[in-house]
């Protein structure tokens, strides 16, 4: 803008009294959501299925965006987007959560508020319709960060939640995935090399590694947002991994692994093979690169997902956002359901690396 244009703009602002709102409206805001990463390929997703995923992602990103556009809080935007994905059977969170080895559903979720560095998480809950809501309540109404299992549900009751029956989360599609996963586990465990590896036929470390070979469509959901006041927030919600055993908890409820937000730095929500995301501290590591090495969000997220995790053998991806509203969505799988929307731009809804 040259000097003349600048002074004209200044005059308009002064004469109309728009200055405060005009400044607020100029503040960047944006949101990104994911619906999981994994072995989704163009070959095994019909045009109708793709359309259904895209429509739900669009609805979810628009719901969060609307809150941000009105000057709302990034935490509220994250919650609104995640609730829509949790209520859809398409995603592995809330309704549509995968089955455990024993045929149950154990849900994990977490939220982090970048403004206060407060966080809340629940793990292994079985009767909470929208686990992200309970994670927020843990953050706001309890002195703790993470509550698990029955205790988390007892806390929910004290906060006025209604428990839903365990079969609320049943879907036939996920049940078929459990059957096929169990068949693969059975084959792996009856394999002669596997038996020889410990002589007992119960080498669970090996079994856990076999899990990564399955046809996983991870499907966890998450959102990150920057609001007009510069506040970052991140949230993640999941049913975990198909056929998980023994109360297994993944990265999604672990702050620093599956979820992280810090004002002035970045906000991240992850999806993928949780054991790797915990060990490599994925969400925290991305933000540390931004904070201490001054890396761009694109570079930081790419280094962790496409270098560090690939070397380790960990599959998955993240959505990440920085203090200026820049967004990175790297993944090292065939696809990742995702959508982004920045101020005054239309939403972008994507599944594969090209669109």
Q: Does 252 bind ligand ASP (CB under 6 A)?
A: yes
Restricting to residues 106-135, which ones interact with ligand ASP according to CB under 6 A? Answer: none
DSSP string, 97-112: PPPPTTS---EEEEEE
Q: Does 333 bind ligand ASP (CB under 6 A)?
A: no
CA-CA distance, 334 to 316, in Å (whole number)?
Answer: 9
Q: Does 36 bind ligand ASP (CB under 6 A)?
A: yes
- Looking at beta carbons only, is 248 or 289 nearer to ligand ASP? 248
Chosen residue from 74, 81, 83, 92 binding ligand ASP by CB under 6 A: 92
How far, in Å, are 58, 318, 327, 331, 339 from residue 50 at the CA level?
12, 20, 23, 18, 13
3-state secondary structure of 93: coil
Q: Does 240 bind ligand ASP (CB under 6 A)?
A: yes
Q: Does 96 bind ligand ASP (CB under 6 A)?
A: no
Q: Does 238 bind ligand ASP (CB under 6 A)?
A: yes
CA-CA distance, 80 to 84, in Å (whole number)?
Answer: 7
Q: Does 64 bind ligand ASP (CB under 6 A)?
A: no
Task: Provide the mask over 186-225, with x wherever binding to ligand ASP is found by CB under 6 A and - wherever it is not.
Answer: --------------------------------xxx-----
DSSP string, 126-171: SS-S-HHHHHHHHHHHSS-SEEEHHHHHHHHHHTTPPPPPGGGG--
Q: Which of 94, 88, 96, 118 shows the shortest CA–CA distance to 107? A: 94
CA-CA distance, 287 to 31, in Å (whole number)?
Answer: 17
Q: Does 336 bind ligand ASP (CB under 6 A)?
A: no
Q: Does 94 bind ligand ASP (CB under 6 A)?
A: no
The least distance separating ligand ASP from the CB of residue 312, rounded to whole angstroms, comes to 14
Q: Which stretch binds ligand ASP (CB under 6 A): 52-60, 246-254, 304-312, 338-346?
A: 246-254
Chosen residue from 96, 256, 274, 335 binding ligand ASP by CB under 6 A: 274
Question: Does residue 220 carry a catalytic annotation?
Answer: yes
Active-site residue list: 220
For binding to ligand ASP (CB under 6 A), which residues are involved? 36, 92, 218-220, 238, 240-241, 250-252, 271-272, 274
């Amino acid at each position: 803008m040259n000097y003349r244009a600048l002074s004209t703009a200044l005059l308009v602002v002064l004469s109309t009294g728009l200055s405060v709102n005009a400044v607020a409206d100029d503040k960047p805001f944006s949101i990104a959501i994911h619906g999981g990463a994994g072995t989704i390929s163009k070959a095994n997703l019909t045009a109708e299925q793709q359309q259904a995923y895209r429509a739900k992602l669009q609805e979810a990103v628009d719901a969060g965006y609307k809150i941000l556009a009105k000057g709302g809080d990034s935490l509220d935007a994250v919650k609104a987007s995640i609730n829509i994905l949790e209520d859809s059977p398409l995603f592995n969170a809330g309704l549509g959560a995968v089955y455990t080895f024993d045929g149950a559903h154990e849900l994990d979720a977490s939220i982090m508020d970048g403004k206060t560095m407060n966080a809340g998480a629940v793990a292994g809950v079985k009767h909470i319709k929208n686990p992200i809501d309970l994670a927020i309540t843990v953050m706001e109404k309890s002195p703790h960060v993470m509550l698990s299992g029955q205790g988390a549900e007892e806390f929910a009751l004290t906060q006025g939640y209604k428990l839903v029956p365990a079969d609320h989360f049943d879907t036939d599609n996920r049940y078929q995935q459990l059957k096929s996963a169990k068949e693969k586990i059975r084959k792996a465990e009856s394999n002669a090399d596997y038996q020889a590896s410990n002589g007992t036929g119960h080498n669970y470390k090996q079994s856990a590694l076999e899990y990564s070979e399955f046809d996983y469509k991870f499907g966890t959901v998450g959102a990150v947002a920057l609001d007009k006041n510069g506040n970052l927030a991140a949230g993640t919600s999941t049913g975990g991994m198909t056929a998980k055993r023994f109360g297994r908890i993944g990265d999604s409820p672990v702050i620093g692994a599956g979820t992280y937000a810090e004002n002035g730095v970045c906000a991240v929500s992850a999806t993928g093979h949780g054991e790797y995301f915990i060990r490599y501290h994925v969400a925290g590591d991305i933000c540390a690169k931004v904070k201490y090495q001054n890396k761009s969000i694109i570079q930081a997220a790419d280094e962790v997902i496409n270098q560090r995790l690939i070397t380790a053998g960990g599959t998955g991806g993240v959505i990440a956002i920085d203090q200026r509203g820049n967004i990175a969505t790297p993944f090292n799988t065939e696809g990742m359901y995702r959508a982004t929307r920045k101020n005054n731009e239309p939403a972008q809804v994507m599944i594969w690396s090209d669109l």
